[in-house]
Amino acid sequence: MPPATASHASTLARDFDLRHLAPAFHADPYPVYHALRAYEPVKRMPDGSLFLTRFRDVQAVYRDAKTFSSDKTVEFKPKYGDSPLYAHHTTSLVFNDPPRHTRVRKLIAGALTARAIAAMEPGLVRLVDGLLDAAAERGRIDLIGEFASAIPVEIIGNLLDVPHAEREPLRDWSLAILGALEPSLTEAQFERGNRAVDEFVGYLRDLVARRRREPGDPQHDVLTRLIQGEEGGEQLSEAELLQNCIFILNAGHETTTNLIGNGLVTLTQWPEQRAALLHEPSLIESAVEECLRFESSNQLGNRMATVDTEIGGVAVARGTPVTLCIGAANRDPEQFADPDRFDIRRDPNRHLAFGFGIHQCAGLSLARLEARIAIGRFVQRFPGYRLDGEPTRGGRVRFRGFAEVPLELGPAAGRTA
pLDDT for 416? 65
| Residue 299, pLDDT above cutoff 70 | yes
Percent of the chain with pLDDT over 90: 82
Q: For 275-289, how does the pLDDT look when each residue is reduced to its tens digit (9 = 90+)?
A: 999 999 999 999 999
pLDDT for 114? 87
Q: What is the pTM of this model?
A: 0.94
Contacts 24+ apart (CB under 8 A), 302-310: 302/70, 302/72, 302/75, 303/61, 303/68, 303/69, 303/70, 304/68, 304/69, 304/70, 304/71, 304/72, 304/74, 304/75, 305/67, 305/68, 305/69, 306/66, 306/67, 306/68, 306/69, 307/67, 309/67
pLDDT confidence bin for 251, thresholds 50/70/90:
confident
pLDDT for 232? 67
User: How far apart (Å, rounded) are the C-alpha atoms in residues 92 and 76?
Assistant: 13
Task: Write down all domains in the chain, each with its CATH number in brackets.
Answer: 1-40 (no CATH), 59-296+306-317+357-408 (1.10.630.10)
Task: Output the average pLDDT for the chain.
Answer: 94
pLDDT confidence bin for 6, thresholds 50/70/90:
confident
Continuous segment of H or E residues that includes residue 44: strand 42-44
| Residue 3, pLDDT above cutoff 60 | no
pLDDT confidence bin for 23, thresholds 50/70/90:
confident
Most trustworthy range by pLDDT among 95-104, 177-186, 200-209: 200-209
User: How far apart (Å, rounded) are the C-alpha atoms in residues 293 and 350?
Assistant: 9
